[in-house]
Amino acid sequence: MGLTSKQSVIGMKSVFLETLRPATMSSQTNQRDSFTLLKKLDFIKTKKQWLVLISIIFISIVFLYPYLINWKEDFRTSLSPIEVLQQKIKNSFNLSSSQLRNTSDAPAGSRWRRVSWEEAVKAFSYQTSHACNNTCDRSDNASDCFSFTSEDWSRRLVSGDFTVRPFLKDGMYIYEFEKEYLSYPPLEDMKQLPDLKLSKITVFGMSNNTVRCGTGDVINGRVDLVDSYGHPRHRGGDEVRLWLVSKSEKQFRATGHVADLNNGSYLITGHCLWPGNIQINVAVVYPREYIRATLHQAQLSVTRYIYGNFINNSTQETTICWSLPNVIGRSCVCNLTRLSGQSFYCGKPINTRLTCNDFSATSVGPMIQPKNVTLQERDLIQKIPTRHILERTIPHSINVTSEEKGQPPKLKPCSLTPFNVTWNLTSPGGFWEPNMKWTSLHCERPEMSSTWAMSCLKNTTVMIFGDSNALRIFDVLNQMTNCTGVSYTLWPKAGTCSNNDSGITLSFTPHELPKYQHPYWTPKLDYKAVAEQIYVTPSVGKYIIIVHYYLHATPSHLSVVHSRIKSLSESIRHLARRNPDVLFAFRGPHVTSFDWDINHTTGGDSLGKFFLQLIQETFQDLRDKIVYLDGWGMALAIENAYLHPTDRVPQEMARTLLSFRCNETGYVPRLH
Ligand SMILES: *[C@@H]1O[C@H](CO)[C@@H](O)[C@H](O)[C@H]1NC(C)=O
Ligand SMILES: *[C@@H]1O[C@H](CO)[C@@H](O)[C@H](O)[C@H]1NC(C)=O
Ligand SMILES: *[C@@H]1O[C@H](CO)[C@@H](O)[C@H](O)[C@H]1NC(C)=O
Ligand SMILES: *[C@@H]1O[C@H](CO)[C@@H](O)[C@H](O)[C@H]1NC(C)=O
Ligand SMILES: *[C@@H]1O[C@H](CO)[C@@H](O)[C@H](O)[C@H]1NC(C)=O
Ligand SMILES: *[C@@H]1O[C@H](CO)[C@@H](O)[C@H](O)[C@H]1NC(C)=O
Ligand SMILES: *[C@@H]1O[C@H](CO)[C@@H](O)[C@H](O)[C@H]1NC(C)=O
Ligand SMILES: *[C@@H]1O[C@H](CO)[C@@H](O)[C@H](O)[C@H]1NC(C)=O
Ligand SMILES: *[C@@H]1O[C@H](CO)[C@@H](O)[C@H](O)[C@H]1NC(C)=O
Ligand SMILES: *[C@@H]1O[C@H](CO)[C@@H](O)[C@H](O)[C@H]1NC(C)=O
Ligand SMILES: *[C@@H]1O[C@H](CO)[C@@H](O)[C@H](O)[C@H]1NC(C)=O
Ligand SMILES: *[C@@H]1O[C@H](CO)[C@@H](O)[C@H](O)[C@H]1NC(C)=O
């Protein structure tokens, strides 16, 4: 029989969690190890001997370090030493051809350099200093003193008439996975892509393409990807997704788990959760080559920007704004991080009558042209996000037949279940039943009703932070609690409503800039950062805090959203220590296959799987304090394509959240 889901979890961990560790960690461990070694060498007595020994060690470290690092990196790719060697030989041959390409950006031959986010940002310190004066000389490649209005900027951005100032230069990376993907050359041959028709799905234990299972059983299998030449793909890194639906009108739907074997094959694990014929769907949503192109665009910061308007009396000027200091179009930058406490920058106005303090409004920029891509990459960027996930599946004729097998195990009420179960994403947290009713596999949830919601939220303040998808949870609770005070759509503004009879207050606050608001100007919104607001939440009183960061944050380099969720985790740790009556929830990202489909480069869910890993890692030690609301699994099971999944998703999330706090009768305090 195939591997159990536990084994695949371990496989995932060793490949992926490893790759996520931020830059500083490995060098720290190295240092610590050498100190312990030094202590043991007690045969050395004099100061001089010590000095000599330390110098020898220092010199060897300096000389050997690159090799040690390389060895470690090679090891991580889980290729055999022979394969690594072959790879190296291949890469050195590729060098000349990549030098010939005019879009050449392959760092072949150059040394990789890992940096931390802070270091990468600090590299732009001069640009943000008072001493920096905009140069209107185009020869410096970063300045463009000809655009002053949003119309003008948009024209240039859409036509591709701009010069990028990369956030990370060639060879620089923050996450191991970036290096992993960027060390492949950019796509130049469409036939090397996975060919859906030639790729194959095998379910272990099937005979004559039929598999039998009983409800509650796990089925395992493997997907072998093949390119259009008919050759097996030798490396992993493609994004493969699995979900199961009942063949009769898709009444039941569940998500499955996929583990990358790093050799072109993927292990799939699904659950037989209902009786009947089950359709297995396996989609290759993003080939490795596409993810590479997307990561590269993120490194260059070719993305959908926002605009900032600087106004003083009758003088105004528009520049480009972003979460990173390498904004295009101005050689100097305003560091507006102090506005919220999270990174935010705008090009500095050229007009000397305007200062950085005159930043007063924002609006959204257009979809822009990708930069430094091959023709083939451009083709993928324009086509892939316009295809529904069902157009990216591997055709097959495997028939899974599931039979009722006993009663499902009786689950404990969610109010008595530890929160950490919600963080286990290797097996489905639930499934959709007919009429889009969600059944939790974690614990038993009371039926959602207005009466129950109001009794559960009695004397409670619910604070919701994020974007429009967070606002939709606010809307659900708003409707359920007869909350009054808001009668219009809040986004991108903050607002509150209350039900004084029950002591319920609901608030919504958008997360920090940059966010995509409207094509017209929205006056500067000076809400405090999410983490700041959590820090100042009182130590007594009942609170529920729900946070969602996703579609407005992930079009940046992922280190940006990572820095935001790291601040968030610190603030949660702080508040959880002070106030035992706070329930935290993180609403995770969901799958989307449409919408940002016009010349899209970064955004949508294309880097979602890396964001998921960063979330899992950042909140690792807070899993018993935070309920994870898994948008990914819920949305994948229903083949969601849109930025806003159906209302059933926020509704079921609200129900799940309240279930962890209340039983049918009301609030159930947790023992700490
Ligand atoms: C982008 O390509 C141009 C030539 O097409 C090259 O001059 C430039 O160095 C490349 N930039 C990056 C960041 O790769
Ligand atoms: C911008 O300011 C913040 C503090 O407000 C600082 O941490 C950051 O390094 C600054 N950015 C640059 C590029 O210097
Ligand atoms: C920038 O401009 C100001 C005023 O125009 C001038 O005093 C200053 O020396 C300039 N700084 C640099 C680095 O050129
Ligand atoms: C598979 O199908 C073939 C013919 O279609 C049949 O002869 C064979 O017995 C089947 N095997 C099993 C295990 O059902
Ligand atoms: C703006 O107008 C005010 C009064 O109308 C004036 O005091 C101030 O100097 C003006 N500022 C600039 C930069 O022109
Ligand atoms: C799948 O198998 C079941 C049971 O063997 C059979 O009744 C059903 O017709 C099959 N469906 C398809 C589409 O082959
Ligand atoms: C959750 O935490 C409990 C202790 O509170 C522990 O026994 C259990 O193994 C944890 N479960 C998971 C899935 O991490
Ligand atoms: C996740 O849940 C599955 C199924 O309940 C279980 O087998 C697995 O051990 C869990 N993983 C962790 C890390 O607790
Ligand atoms: C909500 O308010 C309406 C009128 O304002 C009232 O008719 C209804 O009973 C209330 N619902 C609950 C559950 O209290
Ligand atoms: C809310 O709390 C106050 C005092 O803490 C209490 O008097 C009141 O009855 C509570 N309201 C509800 C609806 O439980
Ligand atoms: C998309 O890119 C093409 C050129 O590649 C351009 O002609 C078209 O206008 C762009 N569309 C939008 C909406 O930006
Ligand atoms: C709900 O929890 C409370 C407090 O723990 C308890 O007294 C009550 O019996 C529970 N109600 C149900 C229906 O389990």
Q: Per-block average pLDDT, block size 10, for the chain (672 residues)?
A: 32 33 38 37 52 57 44 35 38 33 45 95 96 76 77 91 92 96 96 98 96 96 98 97 90 97 98 96 97 96 95 96 94 95 96 96 92 95 90 96 91 97 96 96 98 97 98 97 88 94 97 94 93 97 98 95 98 97 97 75 88 98 98 97 96 98 95 66
Q: How far apart are CA 114 and CA 22, in angstroms?
A: 9
Residue 148: which residues within 8 A CB-CB, separation 6 or more?
317, 318, 350
Helix, coil or strand: residue 329: strand
Q: Please give the distance, rounded to the nearest whole angstrom, from the Cα atom of residue 598 to the centre of ligand 11.
A: 7
Q: Which two tokens stand for residue 104?
A: 């050449």
Nearest to 552 by CA among 602, 597, 586, 509: 602
Write the residue with the smallest CA distance to atom 1 of ligand 9.
482
pLDDT score of 351: 92
Q: Please give the distance, rounded to the nearest whole angstrom, from the Cα atom of residue 619 to the centre of ligand 3.
A: 46
Q: How far apart are CA 573 and CA 625, in angstroms?
A: 9
Residue 565: which residues within 8 A CB-CB, separation 6 or more?
549, 614, 615, 618, 619
Q: Return the C-alpha torsion angle 281, 285, 289, 291, nearest 10.
A: -130
Phi, psi for residue 46 in degrees, rounded to 5: -85, 160
Q: Please give the distance, rounded to the nearest whole angstrom, from the Cα atom of residue 133 to the centre of ligand 3.
A: 6
Q: Is the CB of 425 under 6 A from ligand 7?
A: no
Q: Is the CB of 670 under 6 A from ligand 7?
A: no
Cα 346 to Cα 14, 37, 324, 513, distances in angstroms: 40, 49, 9, 11
Within 13 Å, how many C-alpha atoms sit on residue 622's CB side? 24
DSSP strand pairing (399-403 vs 276-286): antiparallel
pLDDT score of 9: 29
Q: How far apart are CA 142 and CA 166, in angstroms?
A: 10
pLDDT score of 595: 61
Whether 458 and 579 have beta carbons less than 8 Å apart is answered as no
Q: What is the pTM of this model?
A: 0.85
Q: Is the CB of 210 under 6 A from ligand 6?
A: yes
Whether 496 and 487 have beta carbons less than 8 Å apart is answered as no
Q: Is the CB of 116 under 6 A from ligand 9?
A: no
Q: Please give the distance, rounded to the nearest whole angstrom, from the Cα atom of residue 324 to the centre of ligand 7.
A: 38
pLDDT score of 140: 58
Within 13 Å, how many C-alpha atoms sit on residue 75's CB side? 8
Q: Which atom of ligand 11 is nearest to the CA of 599?
A: 1
Ramachandran region of residue 479, left (φ > 0), alpha (ψ -120 to 50) or beta?
alpha
User: What is the sign, positive or negative, of the torsion defined by CA atoms of 279, 280, 285, 289?
Assistant: negative
Q: Which two tokens stand for residue 43?
A: 């045969």
pLDDT score of 55: 63
pLDDT score of 3: 31
Nearest to 549 by CA among 470, 496, 489: 470
Q: How far apart are CA 463 and CA 579, in angstroms?
A: 15
